[in-house]
């Protein structure tokens, strides 16, 4: 069993997957910072200093000054502002992956399609019959 596991790990695509996960984790922290520190502050400024991560619906009925206070009190909340931030992060990551895949696909040239197979005898006979039928009205 150990040898099978070692052979599985030593395969190229498993190592590529591990590298991809590590780079993806690092990329996630970069995107998180991009959304929190660069994209959301100007959007909040345009909307009057609003921080999306503080948008929530309080289900407990007691008023709280912020989402952090509601969480600290253990109140049930629907955190739609946090969801908006996560959605923006997802769109950025999806766009970055799209650009990456598009560029990688450009590097690999697609082989030309194979030529069509030569017509068989029955195909030739069918074609000749169609030509004959088209020429009959002219005669």
pTM greater than the 0.85 cutoff: no
Where residue 104 sits, what CATH number does that domain have? Answer: 1.10.1200.120
| Number of domains forming the structure of the chain | 1
Closest CA to 52 of 29, 28, 86, 94: 86
Residue-range definition of the domain harbouring residue 110: 2-138
Q: What interhelical angle do 2-10 and 12-33 show, nearest 10?
A: 60
pLDDT band at 113 (very low <50, low <70, confident <90, very high): confident
pLDDT at 25: 84
Check residue 87 and give its pLDDT: 87
């Amino acid at each position: 069993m150990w040898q099978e596991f070692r052979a599985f790990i030593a395969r190229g695509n498993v190592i590529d997957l591990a590298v991809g996960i590590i780079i993806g984790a690092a990329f996630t922290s970069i995107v998180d910072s991009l959304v929190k520190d660069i994209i959301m502050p100007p959007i909040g400024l345009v909307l009057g200093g609003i921080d999306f991560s503080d948008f929530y619906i309080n289900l407990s009925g007691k008023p709280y000054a912020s989402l952090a206070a509601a969480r600290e009190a253990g109140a049930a909340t629907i955190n739609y502002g946090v969801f908006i931030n996560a959605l923006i992060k997802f769109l950025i990551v999806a766009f970055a992956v799209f650009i990456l895949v598009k560029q990688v696909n450009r590097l690999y040239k697609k082989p030309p399609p194979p030529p069509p197979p030569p017509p068989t005898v029955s195909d030739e006979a069918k074609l000749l019959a169609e030509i004959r039928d088209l020429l009959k009205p002219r005669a």
